[in-house]
Amino acid sequence: MKRRTAILAGERVEVSWIETESSVEATVNGRTYRLDKHRVDDETVWLGWNGVSVEALVAPQDVGYEVTIRGARISVEFLEAARTARRQAAVSDGVVSLRAPMPGKIVRVMLAQGVEVEANQGIVVMEAMKMQNEIRSPKRGKIVQLRVTEGDAVKLGDLIAEVE
């Protein structure tokens, strides 16, 4: 069983879960849910619970997931992962790759290749599922490679930029 403290849609919750190929049993703040599960593709999961069926787009993030259900985006951030990511970003001396967290379209490039960037500063704005998402630098450094331009379509995991 996995156990984590998470920020789920802005609320701190204790989560534990057991996952199999066809089900998930999750306990959130003491309340247990049993869901049927079927992976549709690399980023889409069908979930069934109490006679309700939904498809969820699950996009991995550095510290958790961005889950989209029926157009509503839910951010799931695991606190343990967030602390680790902040420590790594603070001391990282190498090149860090920024990758597309979901399929979408680059609607604005905010900074150019060769420019100095601060940690958490926006580099590009990406539109996915009619929502705009700012892709931010994970650390202070220099944009050594910018692989996208406005209007580019990107797939999940495509390289957007590299910061050194």
Overall pTM > 0.85: no
Is residue 85 assigned to a domain?
no
d(CA 99, CA 132): 16
pLDDT at position 161 is 93
**What is the domain count for the chain?**
2
Residue type, 87: R
Same domain (yes/no): 71, 109 = no
Task: For residue range 102-148, list pLDDT tens digits in order.
Answer: 889 999 999 999 999 998 899 999 998 788 888 888 888 999 999 99
Query: What's 118's domain CATH number?
Result: 2.40.50.100
Task: For residue range 50-102, list pLDDT tens digits in order.
Answer: 889 999 998 887 777 888 988 888 888 877 654 545 555 554 568 888 888 78
Same domain (yes/no): 49, 98 = no
User: Which residue's entry shows tokens 């958490």?
Assistant: 120
Structural domain boundaries, residue 26: 2-79
